[in-house]
Homo-oligomer: A and B are copies of this chain.
Amino acid sequence: MLTIAVDAMGGDNAPQCVVEGTIQTLRETDNRLEILLIGQEEKVQPLLDAHDTQGLNLRFMHAPEVITMTDVPAIAVKTKQNSSLVRGLLLCKEKKADGFISAGNTGALMAASLFILGRLPGVLRPTIAAYFPRLAPGLTNVVDVGANVDCKAENLVQFAEMLTIYQRDAADMEKPLTGLLNIGEEDNKGPEVLKQTYRLLKEADRKNKINFAGNIEGNDILSSKVSIIVCDGLVGNTLLKFGESIPEFLSSIFKPSLKELVVSGKLDPEAAELTGSAFKKMFKPFDVERFGGVPFLGVDGISIVGHGRSSAKAIMNMIYMAEHMIEKKVNQHIAEALAVT
């Protein structure tokens, strides 16, 4: 039976949502997994007591410290060795857990994962991807979204290779297509590092390690043209945060004008409510909850990070993601593909 360690203290809604997500997962899966919940006893135990946890494969482990969302990652990891985040990863390292999930401080999780779990053989730099909206079925991952800046061509190519394996194994996509995010489609476009990356991606395609669609541009991101979009962490991180700010920006224009229509008597309140729902629904493709989180790919273990706003449902999906990645041997396949030959 797999044991998944769960950071009870990670995320804006922790520990409440984490406890709920954990219990729901165990119920839904009929105890297929064991979950090891880690956090501050005084905060987590009362929440556990409020549920009927008898018969569930649930263990609790006390961790007195908490890494907060505002902690500086490198410092927090060093100084808060008794935090749920560090302890969870240590359990993975000691093979007492098969995977770890957290909706906490992303930077700290990456730093601690790299430090504690280490890299898989052949991996130059572990990476983190994000899910971007699309209309067509399937999924779009942008990689890297902030774990790595100053990426070399070799790093970017490995990101494409790792994501290809992840999408193939964990998302059951037969031939995930990779695009290189650039300022033009022609093969000689862009910064030097991307020209070089283009050539290496072509080569990786010839070796059947990836399926390369060539350069893509900013307006192709939402177009479902490719499922893997490769870029430096600076570009990916900026796009991710820019994209996340759009629903609120547009709502702050649309909602008042809808209200104005109601106040002026032009639109009846029921119609406004219906339209408001359609408007809200429109941002559903922006909602990453259905995926739960993203794995930190390339480390020697399973480490999954969720959005700070993660709900119980997101926590559940993160646990399932960990389970699925272990069962599908994603890390083993990455190590095989990237092994220096």
Residues of A bordering B, CB below 8 Å: 72, 133, 135, 146, 149-150, 181-183, 186, 190-192, 194, 217-223, 231-235, 237-246, 249-250, 252-254, 257-258, 261, 266-268, 271-272, 274-275, 278-279, 281-282, 284-285
Contacts and interface: CB of A to CB of B under 8 A. Distances in A.
A341 B10 CA distance: 53
A32 B239 CA distance: 44
B282 A254 contact: yes
Contact of A238 (B150, B217, B258): B217
Contacts of A194: 234
Given A223-B245, A246-B246, A271 B267 contact: yes
Contacts of A220: 245
28 contacts: A135-B253, A149-B183, A149-B190, A150-B191, A183-B238, A191-B234, A217-B237, A218-B239, A218-B240, A218-B241, A218-B244, A219-B242, A219-B244, A219-B245, A220-B245, A222-B246, A223-B245, A234-B235, A242-B242, A250-B250, A253-B281, A254-B279, A254-B282, A258-B278, A266-B274, A267-B275, A272-B275, A275-B275
Contacts of A235: 234-235, 238
Most chain B CB atoms below 10 A, which of A222, A233, A234: A234
Main SS of the interface on chain A?
helix
A267 B269 CA distance: 11
A275 B249 contact: no
A237 B274 contact: no
A271 B249 CA distance: 24
A148 to B, nearest CB: 10
